[in-house]
Copies of this chain bind each other. A is one copy, B any other.
């Protein structure tokens, strides 16, 4: 298979973790006889420094000409500490999401026995946890009309959803559920909100096309409890933008380390794959960052190319490093390996098992 991959290294630890993923992808290409061609684009503080623009048009072009995008992270403290800054790194990612119409954010929540000591939850709670959150990313109250009254004594935010917006992300989630345990949970607040009642109606309708998938419905306040009490009950979780923001961030702390959580953003054009951690500027250039979030994002990219065996080989190599204690400083402050060393170990493990 020949594929074009756009790479955006970004800021902070973005470049060093993404470089590990590229080594891993190259090892996969070698072992399975594929050809991955990389084109590099700039975004974020890096792009502002070089061009004054957090997302130059050339980067969008590069992305649109590719089959997938591998992205590191963006953000730099020099912009956070300057409230007068007119261009900010984060604008780059928002603009890219819009340009590529990325309407679904997908975040797996997995547990690793080797990391149980880092989880805030007891081992009993974490047994068998393996679910994935599909969050609608371009609608709802975050993008609704906003108003502040002239005398500044009242404010309004509007939450709107259309049937079409709900349908496209729901179909994605149902298809995904068919490849898993065939269970989908819609998280909403249909006992109170009109938009939630529309979500429920549309999902009930769509469910008829996926009769092999069992669907259930959960109110968001209950979901916030269930994610702590019994996270193993979930398989595919589907929800609107703001609930998805809250629920997926809550779920992200279960495993004990944000450093190894991947994500995908999927839409009408090219899909984007990135670790959920940020640019972590304090660690930049020190070769101490955890590369697993990026490497597992690369595994999601392989899944997206329908390369299931290849994706499994990456995950198997990641499991092998964790089980053997080849981990970064965030996971073991005493005995740890560098970003590069972990990337090399995973690459060699993939080559060795060819």
List the interface of chain A (C-beta within 8 A of B).
119-122, 125, 141-142, 146-148, 152-164, 189, 192-195, 197-198, 201, 220-222, 224-225, 228-229, 242, 245-247, 249-250, 252-254
Contact = CB atoms under 8 A, between A and B. Distances in A.
A146 to B, nearest CB: 4
B162 A153 contact: yes
Contact of A195 (B156, B229, B252): B156
19 contacts: A120-B229, A121-B122, A142-B193, A146-B193, A147-B194, A152-B163, A153-B162, A154-B162, A154-B163, A154-B198, A155-B160, A155-B161, A155-B194, A156-B194, A157-B193, A158-B158, A220-B245, A221-B250, A224-B250
Q: Which 10 A-B pairs have the closest CB atoms?
A: A146-B194, A224-B250, A155-B198, A221-B249, A153-B163, A155-B194, A155-B195, A154-B162, A157-B159, A120-B125
Contacts of A194: 146-148, 155-157
A197 B155 contact: yes
Nearest to A256: B229
A163 to B, nearest CB: 4
Contacts of A228: 120-121, 228, 250, 253-254
A158 B156 contact: yes
B229 A246 contact: no
Given A160-B154, A246-B246, A225 B252 contact: yes
Residue in A157, A161, A249 with the greatest tally of chain B CB atoms within 10 Å: A157
A199 to B, nearest CB: 8
A222 B278 CA distance: 14
A84 B320 CA distance: 57
A57 to B, nearest CB: 26
Nearest to A126: B120
